[in-house]
Amino acid sequence: MDHQDGPCFSVEDVEILEKISVYEGFFKMQRLKLRHKLINGGWSKELTRECFIRPEAVAVLLYDPYKDNVVLLEQFRIGTLDAHEGPWQMELVAGIVEEGESTQDVAHREAEEEAGTEILDLEYIYEFYPSAGGSSEKITLYCGGIDSTGVGGVHGVEEEGEDIWVQVFSRKEAMHALSENYISNAAGIIALQWLDANWKRLQQKWQ
C-alpha cells in the first residue's frame, strides 16, 4: 500500500508513566498516565486516559447458502439504553474468548449456545477494534456456513443472563434491515456489508 513518508510507530514509542485499576466489576477500567512520540518529532505532553478493558471477542454472521438466509439475534444491551429505538439490538452470534480457546472454538461454541445451530464451515472476515479511542476490545469476525432448517426461537445461557431471540431472515430482508438502520452495531454492519459483496462466491464455495 503506497503512502506518504512518515514515522512508523509501535508500542515502543509510548512511555507508560502510571497505570492504575479504577474499577473491577463485570468489566474493568484502567487509568493511565502516558506520553507518546509525535508525528513531527519529539514527545507529547503527559496525558491521562481511561481505558475500558474488555477481553478479545468473536462475532459470527450465520449464513445459509442453500436457502440464502441470514440468522440474526435480538437481545437486551445496556449500552443502547438511551437509544431512540430502544435497548434491544439486532446482532450477530458473539462471545468472549476464554483461556485456552481459539477464535474458531468460540465461533462454534457460541453458535450452538446462542442460536442452537452447528457451523459447517467458517470463513474469516476481519479483525477490528470497535472503539479504540477508549476500549481495548478486539473482535475477530467470521461468516459461518449453516443449514437454517429448524433454527429459531429463544436461546442463551440462563446463568449468564442471556435471553436471545433467534430469527431467520432472507438475505434480502437482512440487507433491507441494514439499509433502514435497524442494525446499528459495528459487527453486524461490517458483516452484512461484507456478505453483500461475497454471497455469490460463498454459494459457489459451500454448495
Which amino acids are annotated catalytic? 160
User: What SS3 class is residue 193?
Assistant: helix
182/195 Cα distance (integer angstroms): 17
110/107 Cα distance (integer angstroms): 5
The three cell numbers locating residue 7 = 514515522
Q: Which helix (H) or strand (E) holds 47?
A: strand 47-53
Q: Which amino acid belongs to residue 195? A: L
User: What SS3 class is residue 71?
Assistant: strand
